[in-house]
Structure 1
Amino acid sequence: MITKKKICVIGLGYIGLPTAVMFASKGCNVSGVDINSEVVNLINSGTPHIDEPGLILELNNQINSGNLKAFDRPIESDVYIIAVPTPIGSDFKADLSYVDKAVESITPLIKLGNLIILESTSPVGTTLRIRDALAKKRPDLKILIEDNSNADINIAYCPERVLPGRIMEELSLNDRIVGGITNACSKKAKELYKIFVDGEIHITDSKTAELAKLTENSYRDINIAFANEISMICDDLKINVTELIRLSNKHPRVKILEPGVGVGGHCIAIDPWFIVESDPTRAKIIKLAREVNHNKTEWVYKKILNEINNIKPKVLRIGIMGLAFKPNVADLRESPAMEIALKLALNTDVTIILSEPNINKIPTEFAGLNIYLDNRENAFEDADIIVALVRHKEFFSMIKRYEYKNILDFCGLLM
């Protein structure tokens, strides 16, 4: 039975760790791998280094059962799942060095019958890149390009499609796409994910699966960009954007999203650039949407800066509501709110009081700056300006206490 085979998950971040836990919970012998020794030690003690509902309980169950253990290097296994970061560089192109290092680390361990799966969001062709690297480094293995089942190893791509805050639920409930370098590889990957996935598993080729993941997030980015662009137009025309969108959405085929301060997280803010990288001539709307959402963050920062400069006497204290990249999570990755708060701290001499109910210590990026974390409501009593950046559920009652103050609401808390 495949459920008793050994699975090695490389990269124990927001996707890798929950995935390792899910396989372990179904009886698999799972080795989790991370190059950060602190992360390895935390996981082996039953303490996740990421905040995700339901994760800590299930992690402890699987550590205690012996089904899951973390290491700082890969362990010989039957299945290798690569879930490492794929950031973009300053040139807006994918940095695949983590993927390359992961492949290099497992190359000596690979043996006949192994299944290798890439989960990291990647540009089109990355799975074939893995195939080519392994074919070059392991000429003793038959890694076929043609579609038949006689290859020594199987290679496939299976992107995640989960929402932070619901990862443990959605890993099993959501449909998955698997794309192998051959149809036989796809079938092997589908068999593996059926261990814990209750949603439907759709088979395709690796390039289509890679582009599907990027297309899903680019679609969302474009829709967010439309809302953000409309919000800036409304500001120029002195129109209430909340009222405008409410009325426009009365049309039976219109569903405009709520505007925000930009786009963050490790998916939507990055993935569209991988399509632009693959086909820069054609990806015009995708690139423009990325630019609109990036520029919305700068626009918000300048609006706050302008308000500071307009108020007399000089503003001494600003209350900022929200740092996470989206409502009701603790995830600060690529957060536009973080970027705005940091720029204000670096470029003004005001005191900044942060309220972020999902974290309990100030991020290291703010070390040494005139910026503090205080989630108490009375922290805003003396604020000259209150800036709402993230629509956390805790803020709806909180902001009502300060409706008499100068409030810059960029996330619809006052709607």
Structure 2
Amino acid sequence: MKPRGHHVNTKTVAVIGLGYIGLPTAAILASNGVRVIGVDVSDRHVDAVNRGEVPFVEPDLATHVAGGVSQGMLSAQKDTPHANTYIVAVPTPFKDGYAADLSYIDAATDAIIPQLRGGELIILESTSPPGATQHLADRVLAARPDLSLDGSGERPVVHFAHCPERVLPGRVMIELVTNDRIIGGLTVEAAERARDLYEVFCDAELHLTDATTAEMAKLTENSFRDVNIAFANELSVIADKLGIDVFELIELSNKHPRVNILQPGPGVGGHCIAVDPWFIVSAVPDEARLIRTAREVNDHKPEVVLAKVKERADRFKEPVIAALGLAFKPDIDDLRESPALGITKQLAERHPDAHILAVEPNIDELPGVLVGQAHVSLESTEDAIKRADIVVLLVDHREFKHLDRSLLAEKAVIDTRGVWR
């Protein structure tokens, strides 16, 4: 085990953005003796943290948050304070044309700027296109010409680094500790200072590089996965045309010692794989041909599922359709970029005479995009299946895997995950 941040100045760390990455990072730092102030625009998130509670589902996170708050090491507020270190963990969606939207980073940066005195470390954790860390630094230094990157003109230095998160939802608190981290600095000293901070809680290797390489590394990891998922998804479409069970096909193909095909599904979701490859495509559109094609294949897969549902729904005057799963992956409540949620929304819009029974065991109310449609309701698993003419499995939650299969008798079943083969 590494020494725990024995020479790092961690008097106060401000984590900007208390979402799926920011709050776990804040909590793990607080659990390791670092005073952390979390900052978020959401009253709901701020209030939950200050009560020692969590505003979303993530295993083991609640224990860390409750412990950090009770020990006085973790608190939350809406205003950005002065701190020795800032970790920016805000969303980076894409705009029309798939260019990265850096407005959340800019807003977080603008709130940090008045607090700087010199000597602070600003770490960008948000998954970002190449050059985003430099963009952040340029914004700071343009507003604060009294500061510098390198101490030139005897101006106080502010350090800038990029440390992309690389954790799996549902395992975040484990993987924060056990996964290697890539740390890229705009200067060597910035990278070293960021490394010293992450040593406080990370037992894995910390690999230092420059900021642009660190930014590109995260995008590369997720693009690699996206390309491989696209192969499986395209294979599923081909298999359907040929009358082949794609899941059996992949199982048999994977018997080869050097073949490991992933599993197909209804699309690709989440805050990383469904978004990050577009940052590469946007940066070098003429060269990123394979990466672009993979994104297009995966983005089109929901249409394949919708076509299968339509084929069956057309047999009924007022079909009852159970859509099982709204999250982007199993056993969490994260709906970001979820193909399952998108498919359910499209089912409601394209089948106004149908009754859409949405099932998501990890949430208590319909997501906003489904609210207001009288023929859409959130139901329990068994009630939805009993009432349904058509059952569409979109997410392989544990509740669906362990379902009494007799409930599916005489139902039209579309299993996009191969769970009920």
| TM-score after normalising by structure 1 | 0.96
Q: In the alignment, which residue of structure 2 is the partner of 1:109?
A: 115
Correspondent of 1:342 among 340, 345, 352 = 345
Instruction: Determine if contact 1:145/1:181 at 8 Å carries over to the other structure.
Output: no
- The 5-angstrom pairing of residues 215-230 of structure 1 reads 215-230=220-235
The DSSP-based 3-state class of the residue aligned with 1:398 is coil
The DSSP-based 3-state class of the residue aligned with 1:95 is coil
How many angstroms apart in 2 are the aligned matches of 1:3 and 1:66? 18
Matched, 1:126 2:129: no
How many angstroms apart in 2 are the aligned matches of 1:143 and 1:402? 64
Gaps of 5+ in 2: 1-6
Matched, 1:93 2:95: no
Gaps of 5+ in 1: none
Q: In the alignment, which residue of structure 2 is the partner of 1:332?
A: 335
How many angstroms apart in 2 are the aligned matches of 1:150 and 1:186? 20
Identity of aligned residues (%): 48
Instruction: Determine if contact 2:319/2:390 at 8 Å carries over to the other structure.
Output: no
How many angstroms apart in 1 are the aligned matches of 2:146 and 2:8? 25
How many angstroms apart in 2 are the aligned matches of 1:331 and 1:276? 25
How many angstroms apart in 1 are the aligned matches of 2:381 and 2:242? 36
Q: Which amino acid aligns with 1:40?
A: V
The DSSP-based 3-state class of the residue aligned with 2:110 is helix
Correspondent of 1:50 among 56, 66, 74 = 56
CA displacement at 1:38 relative to structure 2: 2.5
- The 5-angstrom pairing of residues 199-238 of structure 1 reads 199-238=204-243
CA deviation string 1:165-218 (max 9, x = no partner): 111111111110000001121111101110111111000000000000000000
Matched, 1:374 2:408: no
Q: In the alignment, which residue of structure 1 is the partner of 2:302?
A: 297
How many angstroms apart in 2 are the aligned matches of 1:27 and 1:161? 23
Correspondent of 1:240 among 229, 236, 245 = 245
Q: Which amino acid aligns with 2:341?
A: M
The DSSP-based 3-state class of the residue aligned with 1:264 is coil
How many angstroms apart in 1 are the aligned matches of 2:211 and 2:121? 14
Instruction: Determine if contact 2:313/2:319 at 8 Å carries over to the other structure.
Output: no
Instruction: Determine if contact 1:145/1:182 at 8 Å carries over to the other structure.
Output: no
**Residues 150/215 of structure 1: CA separation in 2 closer, same or farther (3 Å cut):** farther
CA displacement at 1:315 relative to structure 2: 4.2
Q: In the alignment, which residue of structure 1 is the partner of 2:412?
A: 406
Q: Which amino acid aligns with 2:105?
A: V
CA displacement at 1:402 relative to structure 2: 3.1
Correspondent of 1:25 among 31, 43, 48 = 31
Instruction: Determine if contact 1:124/1:210 at 8 Å carries over to the other structure.
Output: yes
Q: Which moved more, 1:399-408 or 1:205-214?
A: 399-408
Q: Which amino acid aligns with 1:316?
A: P
Q: Which moved more, 1:205-214 or 1:22-31?
A: 22-31
Instruction: Determine if contact 1:107/1:137 at 8 Å carries over to the other structure.
Output: yes
Matched, 1:184 2:189: yes
Q: Which moved more, 1:354-363 or 1:109-118?
A: 354-363
CA displacement at 1:151 relative to structure 2: 6.7
CA displacement at 1:112 relative to structure 2: 2.1
Correspondent of 1:354 among 327, 346, 358 = 358
The DSSP-based 3-state class of the residue aligned with 2:398 is coil
Q: Which amino acid aligns with 2:227?
A: I
Q: In the alignment, which residue of structure 2 is the partner of 1:15?
A: 21
Correspondent of 2:163 among 143, 149, 158 = 158
Matched, 1:171 2:171: no
CA displacement at 1:145 relative to structure 2: 9.8
The DSSP-based 3-state class of the residue aligned with 1:295 is helix
Q: In the alignment, which residue of structure 2 is the partner of 1:139?
A: 145
CA displacement at 1:410 relative to structure 2: 1.1
CA displacement at 1:5 relative to structure 2: 1.1
In angstroms, what is the RMSD of aligned CA positions?
1.7
Q: Which moved more, 1:349-358 or 1:171-180?
A: 349-358
How many angstroms apart in 1 are the aligned matches of 2:210 and 2:306? 43
Matched, 1:259 2:264: yes
CA displacement at 1:316 relative to structure 2: 2.5
**Residues 145/255 of structure 1: CA separation in 2 closer, same or farther (3 Å cut):** farther
Correspondent of 1:385 among 385, 390, 411 = 390
CA deviation string 1:109-138 (max 9, x = no partner): 112211110000000000111121122111
Correspondent of 2:202 among 187, 197, 201 = 197
CA displacement at 1:295 relative to structure 2: 0.3
The DSSP-based 3-state class of the residue aligned with 2:150 is coil
How many angstroms apart in 1 are the aligned matches of 2:36 and 2:111? 17
CA deviation string 1:256-311 (max 9, x = no partner): 011000000011000000001111111000010000000001111122112211x2
How many angstroms apart in 2 are the aligned matches of 1:36 and 1:165? 22
Q: In the alignment, which residue of structure 1 is the partner of 2:3?
A: none
CA displacement at 1:409 relative to structure 2: 1.1
Instruction: Determine if contact 1:7/1:31 at 8 Å carries over to the other structure.
Output: yes
How many angstroms apart in 2 are the aligned matches of 1:318 and 1:390? 15
CA displacement at 1:355 relative to structure 2: 2.0
* Count of matched residue positions in the alignment of Structure 1 and Structure 2: 411
**Residues 151/298 of structure 1: CA separation in 2 closer, same or farther (3 Å cut):** farther
The DSSP-based 3-state class of the residue aligned with 2:184 is strand
| TM-score after normalising by structure 2 | 0.94
CA displacement at 1:397 relative to structure 2: 2.8
Q: In the alignment, which residue of structure 1 is the partner of 2:11?
A: 5
